[in-house]
Amino acid sequence: MDEILRQLGQLVLGSVPTMVIFLVLVLAYRSLVAGPLARTLAERREHTQGAVEKAHAAIAAADAKSQEYEAKLRAARTAIFKQREHRLQQWSADRDSAVASARLASQERVKQAQAEIAAQAVDARKQIEGSTGELAGQILKAILPSGMAPAESTR
């Protein structure tokens, strides 16, 4: 067993330089490769997260602009509808006033026509009354024989 322990001691003593070189290589790896690699990966992750956040912010801004556009569009449609409604009401009021004035004018013409007809009827009655005697004489002449006609002076 002493021999085994002595061989083990020589192995350990022979492996010390290998262990020292291994430790130096591990420290060199960490300082030269792993550290910069971790920093580069962290920077990439930050840039990627930043780009994703910027994309989300751009999407949110686009949604806000879209909603603002839709609100302006609704307001413009409402304004156009109100203007249209106002014009229709104005046109309706103009039409109603034109109809009312036409109605008054036609009623005035009807009254004038009725007055003219009444005046013509009065004139016609006067003419008829003025010519009734003459017409009666003509009727009697036509109906009665020529010897029986009454004298015109009897009236």
Query: Which pLDDT tens digit goes with each residue over 49-94?
Result: 888 989 999 999 999 999 999 999 999 999 999 999 999 999 999 9
Cβ 110 vs Cβ 125: under 8 Å:
no
Instruction: Provide the pLDDT for residue 155.
Output: 45
Instruction: Provide the pLDDT for residue 154.
Output: 47
- State in Å, rounded, how far the first CA of the chain is from the last one: 191
Q: Quick one: which of 34, 15, 37 has its CA closest to 25? A: 34
CA 74, CA 82: separation in Å to the nearest integer?
12
Instruction: Provide the pLDDT for residue 129.
Output: 85
CA 68, CA 43: separation in Å to the nearest integer?
36
pTM: 0.42
Instruction: Provide the pLDDT for residue 93.
Output: 95
DSSP state at residue 148: S
CA 80, CA 88: separation in Å to the nearest integer?
12
Instruction: Provide the pLDDT for residue 56.
Output: 93
Cβ 150 vs Cβ 140: under 8 Å:
yes
DSSP state at residue 1: -
Locate tokens 């009021």: which residue?
93
Instruction: Provide the pLDDT for residue 47.
Output: 86
CA dist list (Å): 67 to 59, 64, 139: 12, 5, 99
Gyration radius of the chain over CA positions:
63
Our CA angle for 41, 43, 44, nearest 5°, is 65
Residues of the chain with pLDDT under 70: 146-155
